[in-house]
Each structure stands twice: as C-alpha cells, then as structure tokens.
Amino acid sequence: MLAIDERQITSDYYQPNPELDLHPLLQEGVFSSQTIEGEVPIAGTDSRYILEIPDNPVDDTVNVIIYGFAGSEPAYRGLAKAMAEQQGLITLRCKLSRTQKIGASLHPSHLFNPMALSSKIVRGAIGALPDHGLDEKVNLFGHSMGGYIGTHIAHHKPHLVERLTLFSSAGLIEHSPRTLAPGVPKLLGRLASDILELDEFKPSPGDALHCLKHIVKNPILTLGEMIIVGKCDIRNIISQLDPSVKLAILQARDDELFDLKEVVSQVANSTDNFRVVDDVGHASPITHPSLIAREYADLLRESSNITERPLVA
C-alpha cells in the first residue's frame, strides 16, 4: 500500500482521507489489476515507478501518466486505477522523490529547466518496461505541465511514443515571463527580478495560476517552471513532432488556465482527436479520475484497434 505524503497534497485540489489509499471519488471497476513497483537510478538516487496491469487488458500498449507540476501521488494513483480497473488499460506512473526535488532545485543544470529531470525519470521508467515483458513503445498522457514533458519526450524520442495525449497542458497558448499569474508573492518577484535582471517584475493575468500552489514549498522550482513555460511555446514543438506520433487533446470546458477558443483554433487541426470535457476544470484528473479515464479511453478507441467498451460509464 502506498503511503499518503500530505506534504505533496495541494489542499485547493484534493482533500486526502488518510484512511483511504484510493481517491474517494473513484468508481468501482470491472477489471481486477495487479500493482507492480520498481526503481531505476536517476540523478543519483533511485526513482520509483508503478505499473497497474489489468488481468485482461484491452490493449498491450502501456499508458504513461505524466504528473502535472502540482500533482499529488494519491490523486494520480486514482487516475491510474481508473484507467486500469475501469477501462482495462495498462498504466505506468513515476514519482519524483523528495531527494530528487531538492537536487533539482540546487543543481545548476536544472535551475532554469526543472522539467529536464522529470523527463529523464519518465524515460528511465519506460526503459524498464521490457523487464516486465512489456513493449517500450508507449502512449503518453500528460496533465498540465506533464504535457510539456510528454511533448519533449515525443519530440526527442519518437521511437518510444505511439500516441501523445495532452490534457489541459501548459504551452498551448502564448507564454512569456510577463504573462504569468496575478498576485505572485513578493519573494518570487524579488527572486525573479534578481535572476532575470529585470528592473521590475509585474506578472499579468495568464495561464500559470497553478505555479502559485507550490510557491512557498519550492520557489526555485516554481520560478524554474515559469521561466521554462515563458521560453517554450508547446505549439512549436508539436509542429516538429514525427508524423508517426499520434496527437490528441483533452481540454476541460471550465479550465481556468486556458482559453478554449484559442486552444481549438491553434492546435485542433494538427491532432487526430480533440475532445472537450464538460463541467470540469484544470484539476480534473485529481477531482474526476473516473471521468477523465473514460474520456481518455474513448480517445484511444476512436483512433486505434481498441473496440471493446468496458462496462463502467
């Protein structure tokens, strides 16, 4: 049983129940699954990965869940369980250890690109799949900043990726260090001014509101994310994806971080599938694990050989 680390829980997103190992909103599944844990050495420490394998999966391709910046382990475990036990999909997820988080914030190469470490961890876990009799050719499901990580992997390692699905992922509309979130704490403002050598730091309303959730816990990593988002428009990477990588977009109707019309007009034409999820917001994998698992499975079925629809609606 996985322990709940409340230090990684954002209260605005998810209220944990210490007596529950699964997400409290997780529906009962129709598939039974096996949980397998393993470790791979990354950045000087062992990084844990977790596989959820249904007894009778509807497809042999592994679906890699890439956490958002403010992701909590119990919440994403709920999403993985929903995919495995309700939709019959094999899932893989990785957890960034506390040691790695500290190392990422202090290591010069990760100061302005903390996502690089996350990318290495995901690729390391994918590389371990043959040890479990599974193919390294995977589907990537990236939530929030996890979509940037997934796009980075798909761009640089297209031979590993069958399909890339972005759910409310950072970088789908214009970004710059000045189009961040309103009300950034003074600590971050001073830090950004010093590092960026800005005379003033006045973020305007934008699409990085989720950065604020962890600013007190780790201002360096938060600043690093803001900078990398500011430097990278994910559409530029999408335009360079190998044609062999299938691309899909899941977009929350009430996502407070994105303008739906902008997303549709700028990326929908380059995707195999585009699906809007009604009445949910940016934290949907955390607050609606069963719903998002179903929507994701529907996307797969629309453009693959997966034809069976599990019983759970």
pLDDT digits (tens, 9 = 90+) for 260-297: 676 777 676 677 788 888 888 777 887 888 999 999 99
- Structure tokens belonging to residue 23: 């997400």
Give the per-residue pLDDT at 41. Answer: 86
311, 285 contact by CB (below 8 A): no
249, 242 contact by CB (below 8 A): no
pLDDT of 111-141, one tens digit each? 555 567 778 889 999 999 999 999 999 999 9
Residue with tokens 């039974």: 32
Question: 110 falls in which pLDDT band (50, 70, 90)?
Answer: low
Distance CA 248, CA 163 (A): 8
What is the average pLDDT score of the chain?
Answer: 71
Rounded to 10°, the helix 98-106/219-231 angle is 60
Would you call 39 helix, strand, or coil by DSSP?
Answer: strand
Strands 90-95 and 62-66: parallel
Please name the helix (run of DSSP H) or strand (run of DSSP E) that holds residue 41, with its range, or none.
Answer: strand 33-42
What residue ranges define each of the domains in the chain, with the CATH number in brackets?
23-174+235-302 (3.40.50.1820), 176-232 (no CATH)
Sign of CA dihedral 68, 73, 79, 83: positive
Give the per-residue pLDDT at 153. Answer: 92
- Structure tokens belonging to residue 237: 């990477």
Distance CA 140, CA 299 (A): 13
- Structure tokens belonging to residue 176: 């710059």
pLDDT of 34-47, one tens digit each? 999 999 887 677 78
Give the per-residue pLDDT at 102. Answer: 46
